[in-house]
Structure 1
Amino acid sequence: MRSPYEYAVIQAVPRIERGELINVGVLLYCQQRDFLAARTHLHEGRLLALDPDADLEGIRAALASWETTCAGDGASRVMSLGERFRWMVAPRSTVLRAGAVHMGLAEDPEAELDRLLTLLVR
């Protein structure tokens, strides 16, 4: 049986004043399956083409925090999965941000997350 899910592409915007970005991950939430996870992939060459001075280590660390927030580490421990998802997709002006939220249907949210990462990021 397919379940509805919501997802957003995680974007890196190394120089916010320029507005240029690359896709670096996907965040997927499926309420029916109690599933929230992020998958990330940083294509360093693309990022450095936008900003040769980009802090790759800092961006990698920030990307890892998206995955740990989904898992409920740190301050997100007291939040429900839905609250974590909404917090992560809220508009922000930082090097990493979530794009627009989209909907879909999937039998296996984890497999769908991997598919979306391949399709939209890799």
Structure 2
Amino acid sequence: MTRDVYEYAVIRVVPKVERGELINAGVLLYCQPRGYLCARVELDSARLRALDPNADLDGVRRALSAYELACGERPGPLAEESLGGRFRWLTAPRSTIVQAGPVHAGLTADPDTELARLFDKLVRV
């Protein structure tokens, strides 16, 4: 079974950037040899409210869904970018409430299965 290099980043919510507290809310995975780019997100509202009782849950959900939308084929600001270009844009450092963490790499024979494994390990409690 052939394994290919993939890169991933955890999508995190940092409700008060100045405090540095965060929760993991998704995973973004890119596998160039397989032409694969996908994000999976899930917001744990109770955990976010524990860090910031006044957090804008709808705004955070919209920002998280933008990661998923940017990976798809729908028209949008990143539609003309290559998958690699999209991944780099999505993982660029930001000082915003929703942001990607550092990029890590691994090997996989199945990017979908790897995304599910990382999501369960890094996002789900």
TM above 0.5, one fold? yes
RMSD over equivalenced CA pairs, Å = 0.7
Query: Cα deviations across residues 19-60 of structure 1 (Å, max 9, x unaligned)?
Result: 110100000000000000000111111100000000111111
Could you say which residue in structure 1 is the equivalent of 2:115? 113
Paired residue type of 1:25: G
Paired residue type of 2:95: S
Give the alignment's TM-score, normalised by structure 2: 0.95
The aligned length equals: 122
Could you say which residue in structure 2 is the equivalent of 1:25? 26
Matches within 5 A, 1:18-57: 18-57=19-58
Q: Distance in 1 between matches of 2:97 and 2:63?
A: 9
Deviation at 1:17, TM superposition (A): 1.3
Could you say which residue in structure 1 is the equivalent of 2:6? 5
Give the alignment's TM-score, normalised by structure 1: 0.98
Q: Distance in 2 between matches of 1:53 and 1:110?
A: 35
Q: Distance in 1 between matches of 2:59 and 2:120?
A: 23
- Runs (5+) with no aligned partner, structure 2: none
Could you say which residue in structure 2 is the equivalent of 1:69? 70
Could you say which residue in structure 2 is the equivalent of 1:85? 87
- Which of structure 1's runs of 4+ aligned residues deviate more than 3 A? none
